[in-house]
Amino acid sequence: MTSRILQVALVQLRVGIDRAKNLENAAKLVKEAANQGAKLIALPECFNSPYGTKFFGQYAEAIPNGPSCDMLSKTAKENQIYLVGGTIPELDSKKYYNTCTVWNPEGNLIAKFRKMHLFDIDIPGGITFKESDILHGGNELATFKVNDILIGIGVCYDLRFEELAKLYRLKGCELLIYPGAFNMTTGPMHWEVLQRGRALDNQVFVMSISPARNEQGYIAWGHSQITDPWGKVLKQAEHGEEIIQGTLDFSECDKVRAQIPIGKQRRTDVYNTVNVNM
């Protein structure tokens, strides 16, 4: 039987305006995480460019034929790891997306997820952001396997949508990974609890990876986090550049699913009778 234990690392790196430096730094920190034993390593949302609608066009790349994908493929292969390449702004057929790519230890692209729910919010005195000014949302789920463990991908704001997480659970996922960059308004209240919520709803591990906090521009909340299927926070970073490591034992999913069998107790006969848009 293949191992149900997986060594992971989240790389909370600092992102600046120089793409080449961002890529170099990412490759260096991934190597460091791999040297510490991680077999699955994940980067944050917009790890190659500053986060903001005015930057997406300037930093966008074709996938997989751009410098960021080159680095990700090479780094996955050199370190013999699975690499979740955070996100990069993607340009495809004149449309922009916020896209996560996943690479296997041979350096091959094995999954690609375009942020599905765009971050359009308006909190007066807090934060106003409208990704849909430039980005398009993706329409497809993306999963991949490490050993026999099925893993699903979402991006940042997607964390707020329990329907997406549920679809992954229904497909058989045991780990959900969300590269993300929450902010100083919603981060303190929502970042940790959303992840614990998704973990509990679906009895899965959840990992979210933020960039480190910058002094100016978009100020990310940081606090990259690993949560287990009991809703317990196994590891949480501070807000600076940091690598957090974790050992995920997927027998925890089996245990909690047997002990609290919500998966089998769902009342879809009732849920399916209501169909409203809020």
Q: Which residues have a catalytic role annotated?
A: 45, 115, 156
Q: How far is the CB of 144 from ligand AKG (least distance, A)?
A: 22
State which residue, 119 or 168, has the beta carbon closest to ligand AKG: 119
Q: How far is the CB of 6 from ligand AKG (least distance, A)?
A: 26
Residues 125, 256: Cα–Cα separation, whole Å: 41
Q: How far is the CB of 14 from ligand AKG (least distance, A)?
A: 17
Q: How far is the CB of 128 from ligand AKG (least distance, A)?
A: 12
178-207 b/e with 16+ CB inside 10 Å = b?
A: bbbbbbebbbeebbbebbbbbbbebbbbbb
Which long-range contacts does 3-6 make (Cβ < 8 Å, 24+ apart)? 3/147, 4/147, 4/148, 4/149, 4/249, 4/250, 4/251, 5/247, 5/248, 5/249, 5/250, 6/39, 6/40, 6/146, 6/147, 6/149, 6/175, 6/247, 6/248, 6/250
Stretch that binds ligand AKG, among 8-16, 70-78, 132-140, 175-183 (CB under 6 A): 175-183
Residues 11, 242: Cα–Cα separation, whole Å: 6
Stretch that binds ligand AKG, among 20-28, 34-42, 176-184, 198-206 (CB under 6 A): 176-184
Contact status: 119 vs ligand AKG (CB under 6 A) = yes
The residue within the footprint of ligand AKG, chosen from 47, 59, 182, 205 (CB under 6 A), is 182
Contact status: 160 vs ligand AKG (CB under 6 A) = yes
The residue within the footprint of ligand AKG, chosen from 29, 111, 134, 156 (CB under 6 A), is 156
Write the binding mask 54 to 93 for ligand AKG: x where contact by CB under 6 A, - elsewhere: ----------------------------------------
State which residue, 168 or 191, has the beta carbon closest to ligand AKG: 191
The residue within the footprint of ligand AKG, chosen from 48, 183, 195, 224 (CB under 6 A), is 183
Residue 80 gets the label, from left (phi > 0), alpha (psi -120 to 50) or beta, of: left
Stretch that binds ligand AKG, among 12-20, 31-39, 69-77, 153-161 (CB under 6 A): 153-161
Residue holding tokens 């501070």?
238
Binding site for ligand AKG (CB under 6 A): 45, 119, 156-157, 160, 181-183, 186, 190
